Amino acid sequence: MEIGIPQRGVAVNQISLENFRCFREKQSVCLAPLTLLVGENSTGKTSFLALLRALWDAAYGRTIPDFKEAPYDLGSFDEIAHYRGGRAGRATEFKAGFDALARASRRRKRAIRSRARSHRFEITFGMQGTAPVPTRTQFAHDDLRVTGHLEEDLSQKVRFQTSNGEWLRTVATQNPARLGVQSLWMPPRFLPRAWDLEGAEPIAGSPPPTEEDEKRLIQLLMEFQYGYRGGRPFASSPVRSKPCRTYDPSRPVRDPEGETIPMYLSTAFFEDTKSWEALRKALERFGREAGLFDEITVKPLGKRGSEPFQMHVRKFGRRAKGPLRNLVDVGYGVSQALPVITELFRDERTPMFLLQQPEAHLHPSAQAALGTLFCQVANWRRQLVVETHSDHLLDRVRMDVRDRVGKLQPEDVSILFFEREDLDVQIHSLRLDAEGNVVGAPPSYRRFFMEESRRSLRL
């Protein structure tokens, strides 16, 4: 099974945030094909993942960013906006944004450099009732900038800026109760009246907009929206669903806990032999490298895919194959890793994976094998952002980059170190050099592990 890659993708290479959860000061950090989030507990790593998905929804989605959608629940505005306590109080708004590069088809390698367009998207959230809602959005590319403001009467003011001038357009919503908070960031194809220059008023002595100005504006806005053809980022839960001895057929909808992964595997087994064989081989390859299993199969309890089934795995001995065993009867780490690795091998066009502690319940050697897998599947069109507490996973990534085991170069790996500073958290963007060494780390990075090592050596 080929890993799906969008014909055109959007690679996010920088994230900024301000007054969001435990992050007070404005910070900008780098993303790469493989980004690892490390740091102590309760330093905002999960909040950062939730923000990435919310930014995607705001820029490319069709719904209001939901900070309570599983596997994240950040609460209401009061729980999301930064709180300093005392006179400083709670921030009245929080901001976030990203820089991205739209990339052409992999088949057109030469065109990627010449046709790739970078853009900047920013959004500010205020409070309506108890919920965070967008009050300002901005899209920028080269000298073009489009900024939308939501007024108190729920009308929308859109400001257009180009090298030829500036223009302001006011759009009143016909149904403020329903569209007021949504129209600010809805894609231009849904609300074209708000995003064209017809009726816009010149600002600061600018000349009236020309037909060429409007043509260029619409072209770039459409490229921003339509140029993205990948699916929504997939977010996994830190704890996956428990295995069952027998599964009843259900609709294989993706979910953070991986509850429907067995059904996805069963559907492939019954309905698409070619896809099942490719997927089975990929899963077994990782299973052998991780020491989890050598064989995986679906055991039908009937003749049709609509009847119950079981998931079985097998370990091989030196001279003979072991017995097939039900997923319930093997180590818990197998059922916890299976949803994560299956999602990475699915053929849907997923642009970004947001993974929380994929190493949970795995032996150190299996944690290290995950690091190798991530290096194999990550690229600029299939970004992995991984929250991890595993030294073994991180070290395997460093060694694989050093030894050129996969295609990732040192610049294709970003390590974000979350460090608590009093009531705030600072994110440090670290990188790898050609020898796999972590570069740019503050003194506190890995201090605990160094102290434990010194203690064990009685130094």
Predicted local confidence at residue 458, as pLDDT: 61
Query: For residue range 129-147, what is the model confidence (pLDDT) as tens digits?
Result: 899 988 888 888 877 888 8
- Residue 128's pLDDT is 83
Query: Which of 96, 46, 52 is closest to 74 using CA atoms?
Result: 46
Nearest to 33 by CA among 427, 437, 436, 414: 414
CATH architecture observed for domain 1-233+350-459: 3-Layer(aba) Sandwich (3.40)
Angle between the N-to-C axes of helices 332-345 and 261-271, in degrees from 0 to 180, rounded to the nearest 10: 60
pLDDT 10s digits, 41-82: 999 999 999 999 999 888 877 567 899 999 999 999 999 999
Model pLDDT, residue 178: 41
153 — pLDDT class (breaks 50, 70, 90):
low
Q: How confident is the model at residue 453 (pLDDT cuts 50, 70, 90)?
A: low
The whole-number pLDDT of residue 179 equals 39
pLDDT on residue 302 = 84
What residue spans in the chain does CATH classification 3.40.50 cover?
1-233+350-459
Give the mean pLDDT of 165-180.
Answer: 63
pLDDT given at position 204: 83
pLDDT greater than 70 at residue 90: yes
Pairing mode of beta strands 383-387, 34-39: parallel
Q: Which two tokens stand for residue 269?
A: 């087994």
Residue-wise pLDDT for 250-280, tens only, equals 877 889 999 999 999 999 999 989 999 999 9
Mean pLDDT of 331-353: 90
Q: What is the 3-state secondary structure (H, E, C) of the chain?
A: CCCCCCCCEEEEEEEEEECECCECCCEEEECCCEEEEEECCCCCHHHHHHHHHHHHHHHHCCCCCCCCCCCCCCCCHHHHECECCCCCCECCCEEEEEEEEEECCCCCHHHHHHHCEEEEEEEEEEEECCEEEEEEEEEEECCEEEEEEECCCCCEEEEEEECCEEEEEEECCCCHHHHCCCCCCCCCCCCHHHHCCCCCEEECCCCCCCHHHHHHHHHHHHHHHHCCCCCCCEECCCCCCCCCCCECCCCCCCCCCCCCHHHHHHHHHHHCHHHHHHHHHHHHHHHHHHCCCCEEEEEECCCCCCCCEEEEEECECCCCECCCEEHHHCCHHHHHHHHHHHHHHCCCCCCEEEEECCCCCCCHHHHHHHHHHHHHHCECCEEEEEECCCHHHHHHHHHHHHCCCCCCCHHHEEEEEEEEECCEEEEEEEEECCCCCEECCCCCCCHHHHHHHHHHCCC
Strand partners, 141: 144
Query: Distances in Å between the alpha carbon of 425 and those of 44, 116, 122, 388, 392?
Result: 8, 34, 21, 17, 25
> What pLDDT band is residue 37 in, cutting at 50, 70 and 90?
very high
Query: Is residue 154 very low, low, confident or very high in pLDDT (cuts 50, 70, 90)?
Result: low
What would the pLDDT profile of 367-417 be if each residue is shown by its tens digit? 999 999 999 999 988 999 999 999 999 999 999 999 999 889 999 999 999
- CB count within 10 Å of CB 2 equals 8
pLDDT at 71: 96
Tens-place pLDDT, residues 279-316: 999 999 999 999 999 999 999 998 877 889 999 999 99
Strand-pairing partners, residue 127, are 132
pLDDT of residue 175: 47
The model carries a pTM of 0.89
State the chain's mean pLDDT as an integer.
84
Instruction: With beta carbons less than 8 A apart as the criterion, state whether 353 and 344 touch.
Output: yes
Q: Residues 213-233: what's their mean pLDDT? A: 70
**pLDDT greater than 60 at residue 173:** no
Query: Which pLDDT score, from 0 to 100, does residue 450 have?
Result: 64
pLDDT of residue 1: 30
**pLDDT at residue 399 in the model:** 96
